[in-house]
Amino acid sequence: MKKSLSTVLALTLAFPIAALAQGTMKIGTVDMQRAFKEYNKTKEAEVKINDAKNAAKKEYDDRAESYKRALDEINNLNKQLESAALSADKKSQTAKERDDKIANIKNMEREISDFRQTRERQLQEQLMRVREGIVKEITDVVMEKVKANRFDLVFDKSGMSINGVPFLLYAPDNVDFTNDIIAVLNKPGRAPSSTAKANPSATPAKAAKP
């Protein structure tokens, strides 16, 4: 006998529900976003990233100030060239000086543009490397908890579906072990797992999106 799609779906969903009812599955939840934010290493990394951003901004501002001074010098030379009292030789000399400065300021424009694009790319790459390394560390701690407690399923409470709604709509508070994960992460003298140290830029699981 042929089963309709709705019947097959109902049967498929019935198995995990029945398993849960019988208490054969152990489920836990963790808020990966909260763990990420409250991990001390995340806060330290944010300070370093902000320091790098401020240093890049200062260097950019210094270059922009030099550019402004060069532009002012060109404008001043243009005013001198407009003077009727300027001799022919002096006018020729001033015009050459202005043209040289114009050529120089065009180079400065390219250098400033290249500097901005390069620094933005470097900062973005640094941010991604740090983030991926931290998420990998958190994931390793979660997996240690999973193995120690023999969880069958663990859900990320902060995960969002492709429709923009929470992936996990409800779970009782007593299955959440986020506090335990944060406590382990921030334990004084804790060394990252060997996996995290060996591969700090490994790609994290898709469910973890802090």
pLDDT digits (tens, 9 = 90+) for 53-78: 999 999 999 999 999 999 999 999 99
Contact assessment for residue 65 and residue 58, using Cβ atoms and an 8 Å cutoff: no
Residue 49, pLDDT score: 94
What CA–CA distance (Å, rounded) separates 9 from 12? 5
Domain holding 186, by residue range, is 22-198
Domain count, the chain: 1
Residue 145, pLDDT score: 94
Residue 3 within any structural domain of the chain: no
Residue 209 within any structural domain of the chain: no
> 121-157 burial by CB neighbour count: b if 16+ within 10 A, else e?
eeeeeeeeebbbbbbbbbbbbbeebbeeeebeebbbb
Query: 153 - beta bridge partners?
Result: 27
Residue 47 within any structural domain of the chain: yes
pLDDT at residue 177 greater than cutoff 50: yes
Residue 197, pLDDT score: 46
A 10 A CB-CB count for 208 gives 19
| Three-state SS letters, 67-129 | HHHHHHHHHHHHHHHCCCCCCHHHHHHHHHHHHHHHHHHHHHHHHHHHHHHHHHHHHHHHHHH
Residue 13 within any structural domain of the chain: no
- Res. 48 pLDDT band, cuts 50 70 90: very high
φ, ψ (nearest 5 deg) of residue 154: -130, 130
Instruction: Sort residue 189 into left (φ over 0), alpha (ψ -120 to 50) or beta.
Output: left
Residue 139 within any structural domain of the chain: yes
Query: 154 - beta bridge partners?
Result: 28
Residue 169, pLDDT score: 84
- Res. 24 pLDDT band, cuts 50 70 90: confident
Residue 10 within any structural domain of the chain: no
Residue 203, pLDDT score: 38
Contact assessment for residue 185 and residue 35, using Cβ atoms and an 8 Å cutoff: yes
Structure tokens at 164: 């923009």
pLDDT at residue 94 greater than cutoff 70: yes
Residue 96 within any structural domain of the chain: yes
- pTM for the structure as a whole: 0.68
Element (H, E) at 153: strand 153-156
- Res. 192 pLDDT band, cuts 50 70 90: low
pLDDT at residue 131 greater than cutoff 60: yes
pLDDT at residue 20 greater than cutoff 70: no
Mean pLDDT for the stretch of residues 39-64: 94
Select from 161, 158, 162, 202 the least CA-distant residue to 181: 158
Residue 7, pLDDT score: 44
For the ranges 70-74, 112-116, 205-209, the lowest mean pLDDT is seen at: 205-209
Residue 168 within any structural domain of the chain: yes
